[in-house]
Homo-oligomer: A and B are copies of this chain.
């Protein structure tokens, strides 16, 4: 088959090696030149394990087994599942915290019984902030091999989940390759494939949609975006906006409602949909089909009306035992961000919030990874559980492999900044290790501890490529004489010497706090 992927990126990240605990929980160990190491959360699966054999045709090893109940139902029953135990180790938190958060619906573990290749992970505000990378072809560009490599590449750099948003050719087959080779949960938007089958939004039916959902559940998709909150009565609200409807699924459903002048079949059949997802333990990602696509439309009536409907659907799904997260905006100026989290928590029973960005301004196409990282860091600080990345190509074209990496690293920054601000117990360890390496001029360690060691090293080496510069007490930014950290070391030595002098003086003085004044 000519489109089958032949090769993906493998091998350890520079300076790291993969280790597993007795239960097979993976960790990336960053080895430092001072003899210490730092262990960090690892999303990359066997691809970064130098000892693993990768066979894309065969797929990854199957690690998990199915069960008659969902994680939510089992958590409510007081059971700590193997998946809960696994994520507790990954997060460095008690198993009971995982179980109670899942039981309350404040966290989800997206793990379809039919995706046994994935390594369980948890999405919830009590845990480290997660990031999702969108991949998938369009009718204009890309194919299966590129998309499988993007999945491996995204998880290499830290994507916690991947959504396959393919809308071009070979949707089913592309997804099959991705699922069988993915170490992270895979999300989809089933309406894309349903539309592929009927070609025209107006021709969509509940039956076509339902069968597509079952097909994807059977295949192993872990979570699905369902735009069941776009109701007929919301459409006129959205039509008046600066940028209308910018969610693909949202616009399709709005067009359907309007064409038939009927209520959304997703809304009307939501209960049936819950029964299907429950069987596989597929998690709902209730889509924000009416998310704002511009600063002008942020927090408007259309957006908030849909959010209220998502709250209603959340309670139906939970009653059915189905895990739920809620998708969020979009484009939101900074002063309107916190309100989004507050309303989502209030109306949707604290279901994990999963936001796209949001972009804090519209004026920088080409840099929307940055406009959105500003918003993403803030919304995560306010309580968002997972951030959907935005790449530099947003609004302009389909991201390529390089864009995927920039998007992932940018979002790891936003997520980590939020973890720091929220006081996540492990977050500052890495900052401290890197800062210590920086202050001690252990350049190799500074690179290894970086989110992207390759880029950090190459930037340094542009001006000072020789090996001795890797322990030099300066870089090309300030040069040797003006290096503040070199001077700081001298100051520290002097202060410490001074303290030693004072201590000696103190000892000689018979341990009196005040020395006798001369002549008194």
In chain A, residues 332-375, which have Cβ atoms closer than 8 Å to a Cβ of chain B? 333-335, 360-367, 369-371, 373-375
User: A369 — nearest CB in chain B belongs to which residue?
Assistant: B370
22 contacts between A and B (CB under 8 A): A167-B478, A167-B482, A239-B492, A244-B439, A245-B491, A246-B485, A248-B478, A250-B484, A251-B484, A251-B491, A254-B487, A258-B495, A293-B435, A293-B439, A294-B432, A360-B420, A365-B450, A365-B459, A370-B370, A374-B414, A375-B417, A393-B459
Decide if A480 is an interface residue (CB 8 Å cutoff).
yes
Residue in contact with A367 in the complex, picked from B252, B451, B494, B498, CB distance below 8 Å: B451
User: A249 — nearest CB in chain B belongs to which residue?
Assistant: B484
Q: Is B487 a contact partner of A361 (Cβ separation < 8 A)?
A: no
Q: Is B255 a contact partner of A333 (Cβ separation < 8 A)?
A: no
User: A499 — nearest CB in chain B belongs to which residue?
Assistant: B236
In chain A, residues 224-265, which have Cβ atoms closer than 8 Å to a Cβ of chain B? 235-236, 238-239, 242-248, 250-252, 254-255, 258-259
- Convert A442-484 into 0s and 1s, putting 1 for each residue whose CB lies closer than 8 angstroms to a CB of B: 0000110111100110011011100000000001111111111
Residue in contact with A479 in the complex, picked from B168, B475, B491, CB distance below 8 Å: B168
In chain A, residues 374-429, which have Cβ atoms closer than 8 Å to a Cβ of chain B? 374-375, 377-378, 381, 392-398, 400, 409-410, 412-414, 416-418, 420-423, 428
Q: How far is the CA of A196 from the CA of B57 in the complex (A)?
A: 64
Q: How far is the CA of A384 from the CA of B309 in the complex (A)?
A: 39
CB distance from A421 to the nearest CB of B (A): 4
We find that the number of chain A residues with CB closer than 8 angstroms to chain B is 116
Q: How far is the CA of A291 from the CA of B422 in the complex (A)?
A: 23
Interface residue ranges, A against B (CB under 8 Å): 138-141, 167-168, 192, 195, 201, 235-236, 238-239, 242-248, 250-252, 254-255, 258-259, 293-296, 331, 333-335, 360-367, 369-371, 373-375, 377-378, 381, 392-398, 400, 409-410, 412-414, 416-418, 420-423, 428, 430-432, 434-436, 438-439, 446-447, 449-452, 455-456, 459-460, 462-464, 475-485, 487-492, 494-496, 498-499
Residues in B whose Cβ lies below 8 Å from that of A331: 435
Q: Is B141 a contact partner of A487 (Cβ separation < 8 A)?
A: no
Q: How far is the CA of A40 from the CA of B473 in the complex (A)?
A: 44
Residues in B whose Cβ lies below 8 Å from that of A491: 235, 238-239, 244-245, 251, 254-255, 258
Q: How far is the CA of A251 from the CA of B491 in the complex (A)?
A: 8
CB distance from A449 to the nearest CB of B (A): 7
Do most interface residues of chain A lie in helix, strand or loop, or is the interface mixed? Answer: helix
CB distance from A485 to the nearest CB of B (A): 6
Residues in B whose Cβ lies below 8 Å from that of A460: 396-397
Q: How far is the CA of A459 from the CA of B403 in the complex (A)?
A: 11
Residue in contact with A252 in the complex, picked from B250, B462, B487, CB distance below 8 Å: B487
Residue in contact with A487 in the complex, picked from B251, B394, B447, B459, CB distance below 8 Å: B251
CB distance from A180 to the nearest CB of B (A): 25
Q: How far is the CA of A6 from the CA of B410 in the complex (A)?
A: 38
CB distance from A298 to the nearest CB of B (A): 10
Residues in B whose Cβ lies below 8 Å from that of A361: 413, 416-417, 420, 431
Q: Is B243 a contact partner of A439 (Cβ separation < 8 A)?
A: yes
CB distance from A107 to the nearest CB of B (A): 22
Known A-B contacts A367-B413, A413-B370; A431 and B296 likewise in contact (beta carbons under 8 Å):
yes
Q: Is A450 a contact partner of B366 (Cβ separation < 8 A)?
A: yes
Q: Is B295 a contact partner of A333 (Cβ separation < 8 A)?
A: no
Q: Is B138 a contact partner of A482 (Cβ separation < 8 A)?
A: yes
Q: Is B496 a contact partner of A239 (Cβ separation < 8 A)?
A: yes
Q: How far is the CA of A237 from the CA of B327 in the complex (A)?
A: 46
